[in-house]
Amino acid sequence: MIKEDLLKLSNDSKKELEGVYDIKQLNELKIKIFGKTGLLTTFSKAMRDVPVDEKPVIGAIINEIRKELEDKISEKEKYFKEKELNDKLEKEKVDITEPSKNNELGAIHPIASVTDKLIDICVSLGFSVVEGPEVETDYYNFEAMNIPKNHPSRDMQDTFFITENTLLRSQTSAVQAREMEKRKPPFKIICPGKTYRNESDSTHSPIFHQLEGLVVDEKISMADLKTMLTIIMKRLYGDETIIRFRPSFFPFTEPSIEVDVSCPNCHGKGCSICKGIGMLELLGAGIVNPKVLEISGIDSKKYSGFAFGFGLDRTAMILNSINNIKYLYKNDIRFLKQMQ
């Protein structure tokens, strides 16, 4: 009787093993057969009730069935493990011949692009690039630039003060005094960077960018300044650009000028970009006021200098026919794409 039961267990288990389709089911079947209360274990336990003379035969049958089932199970186990590995390899396969996805390329921001262009032009003309702090002292931003405390010319720049003597620099001219204190003439420097003023409309932003230029040497004259600016502007806007110098006022330069260029959109005819004037104001400049040289310890009898201050946002707007400065700060991808 026990023999038949063992044979039935062997056949049923083999059939069940054939239907197993994953490792989880296989483990469940293993427990069902070989577990503590498993089918074959139960038979092994029942051996103690088998008559002594039958014990060797029944024991041998149990061992044979155990061996056969264990072999079949480990074969299946091997098959499932290989299958799992193959499935994983197939899923993770990289087809290196497949064309790559179209990744969107970024564009250089118009302000960064114009800054780079101007730096390249100035460096090719012998200028060195310097930097200064954006959080500046009242001294370097104003006093060393011949703008004493309470002087009415401070009204020209609506400044963000942090404390009585600390502010967000309103002009890169602040770097002039820092460099003049450090250097011995002759020298030619430019300083690009962020500047801040409390103003906001279509051509003014509270954060904007300037590029300051300063040359100090013996016998520097207005002719040198005009020549230098003409070369820079023509390289930036093209040879056919018309340049106009107008008298102006800055406390740190004497005489002072403002410089206009013919509108690159209409070439002087008048359009919406230049508001019908045909020319666009671009920068302030002048011969460094001897007082400014003296404040920074430079002998104004021996040396003279010229300085200029480009508005980089304005320059970028003119080069790209942008009619509102706000577009430069919105980071709208549609706008930036047009600048490519």
Contact footprint for ligand FA5 (CB under 6 A)? 171, 173, 197, 199, 204-205, 208, 210, 212, 250, 253, 256, 281, 283-286, 307-309, 311, 313-314, 325
What letters, b where the CB count within 10 A reaches 16 and e where it falls short, cover 48-87? eeeeeeeeeebeebbeebbeebeeebeebeeebeeeeeee
Q: Tokens 């806007």, residue?
A: 237
Q: Which residue, 69 or 287, has its beta carbon nearer to ligand FA5?
A: 287
Q: Which residue, 65 or 177, has its beta carbon nearer to ligand FA5?
A: 177
DSSP per residue over 26-80, as a string?
HHHHHHHHHSTT-HHHHHHHHGGGS-TTTHHHHHHHHHHHHHHHHHHHHHHHHHH
Write down the least CB distance from residue 196 to ligand FA5, Å: 8
Q: Which residue, 13 or 256, has its beta carbon nearer to ligand FA5?
A: 256
Write down the least CB distance from residue 219 to ligand FA5, Å: 19
Q: What is residue 288's three-state secondary structure?
A: strand
Burial of 276 (0-12, 13-18, 19+ CB in 10 A): exposed
Write down the least CB distance from residue 267 to ligand FA5, Å: 21
Write down the least CB distance from residue 122 to ligand FA5, Å: 14
Q: CB-based contacts of 109: which residues, under 8 Å, 6+ apart?
A: 328, 336, 339
Write down the least CB distance from residue 108 to ligand FA5, Å: 20
Q: Which residue, 23 or 339, has its beta carbon nearer to ligand FA5?
A: 339
* CA-CA-CA-CA torsion sign (314, 319, 321, 322): negative
Q: Which residue, 26 or 207, has its beta carbon nearer to ligand FA5?
A: 207
Q: Tokens 């906001």, residue?
A: 200
Q: Which residue is nearest to ligand FA5 (CB)?
A: 311
Instruction: Tell me the residue type at 284.
Output: G
What's the token pair of residue 206? 């509270």
Write down the least CB distance from residue 334 to ligand FA5, Å: 23
Q: How far apart are CA 161 and CA 111, in angstroms?
A: 25
Q: How far apart are CA 108 and CA 124, in angstroms?
A: 22
Contact 149, 143 (CB under 8 A): yes
Q: Which residue, 28 or 199, has its beta carbon nearer to ligand FA5?
A: 199
Q: Which residue, 84 or 199, has its beta carbon nearer to ligand FA5?
A: 199
Cα-Cα-Cα-Cα torsion 43, 45, 48, 50, nearest 10 degrees, comes to: 0
Chain-centroid distance, C-alpha 189: 27
Q: Which residue, 79 or 161, has its beta carbon nearer to ligand FA5?
A: 161
Write down the least CB distance from residue 288 to ligand FA5, Å: 8
Write down the least CB distance from residue 178 to ligand FA5, Å: 14
